[in-house]
Amino acid sequence: MNPIPPPPHVVADIVERALAEDLGRAGDLTSASVVPASARGEAVIVTRGGGTVAGLDIAAAVFTTVDSAIVVDAVACDGDRVAPGARLATVTGPLRGILTAERSALNLLGHLSGIATAVAEAVERIAGTGARLVDTRKTTPGMRALEKYAVRCGGGSNHRFGLDDAVMVKDNHIAAVGSITTAVAAARAAVGHLVAVEVEVDRLDQLEEAIMAGADVVLLDNMTSDELHLAVAAAGGRCVLEASGGITLENARAVAETGVDVISMGWITHSAPNLDVALEVEVRSPSPA
């Protein structure tokens, strides 16, 4: 697996904001007062639980932003599955900077690895069905690019990144204009030929209208497995079918086996538990006499 990383400017912006939040107006009072400026050493980042790794380069960027003299050597790669106690990276350099960066780096690494771990388990549950697992826009404000990267690290794929890269006609849009046909026609008239149009339906009797209106994708919202089977048969391959709503690890395979093309899950980004990671100082230079 070689997931495409987020752009450097996106990472830099999030790292700067994370550090600004943690360092506040006075900086790291503890490390600055307790750890001599000359102290150097080596620490290791380890997992306390097993899972799938995501965000090692992002964590490294936190350390090097705090102090460019810090060197981070990863011994794992994003997308790797690791056991509890696995070493992920060594961090070498000024100990004051290492300790200042520790929490922000681990927060990002643990959060992103937690998402990747949840995604990897979900992908495994639906393996062999032909369905693809994707995320949603239910992400932490300001963190979407990184969280969607973590989804890729776990073996999932990304839905739209924002409101500006695809048309998705939802129930409230339909209510606002009166019909699926009207909404899709308006969208087709307004956007370019490369922009996909997706329509959300929550009743089987809406499916044919969405297809005939020209939807590229139809999202089948909160439908039962029986309803999904009927939708797949009715669509007959005329559009991409996405199942969403109420999908868990326990029922994901049953949903995938209905024949839908895509399964979207919001909880993989908004509710995935963190992977427990820690930093342990192993070697330090002698304190000055």
Alpha helices in the chain (DSSP H): 8-23, 29-34, 56-66, 95-125, 144-153, 171-177, 180-190, 207-213, 225-235, 252-256, 267-270
Catalytic residue among 28, 42, 221, 242: 221
Catalytic residue among 40, 81, 87, 103: 103
Please state, in angstroms and rounded to a whole number, the distance separating the CA atoms of residues 26 and 31: 12
Known catalytic residue: 205? Answer: no
Catalytic residue among 40, 81, 87, 138: 138
Please state, in angstroms and rounded to a whole number, the distance separating the CA atoms of residues 287 and 202: 67
CA 161 to chain centre: 11
Q: In Å, what is the CA distance from 82 to each residue of 53, 86, 117, 183?
A: 7, 6, 10, 47
Q: Residue 35: which of 74, 72, 66 has the closest Cα?
A: 66
Please state, in angstroms and rounded to a whole number, the distance separating the CA atoms of residues 264 and 198: 13
Count Cα neighbours of 166 within 13 Å in the Cβ-side half-sphere. Answer: 17
CA 86 to chain centre: 22
Q: What is the DSSP string of 203-262?
A: SGGGHHHHHHHT-SEEEEET--HHHHHHHHHHHTTSSEEEEESS--TTTHHHHHTTT-SE
Catalytic residue among 40, 81, 87, 170: 170
Known catalytic residue: 221? Answer: yes
Catalytic residue among 78, 80, 200, 261: 200
Q: In Å, what is the CA distance from 205 to each residue of 73, 138, 170, 213, 248?
A: 56, 28, 16, 14, 25
First to last CA, the chain: 49
Known catalytic residue: 261? Answer: no
- Residues annotated as part of the active site: 103, 138, 170, 200, 221
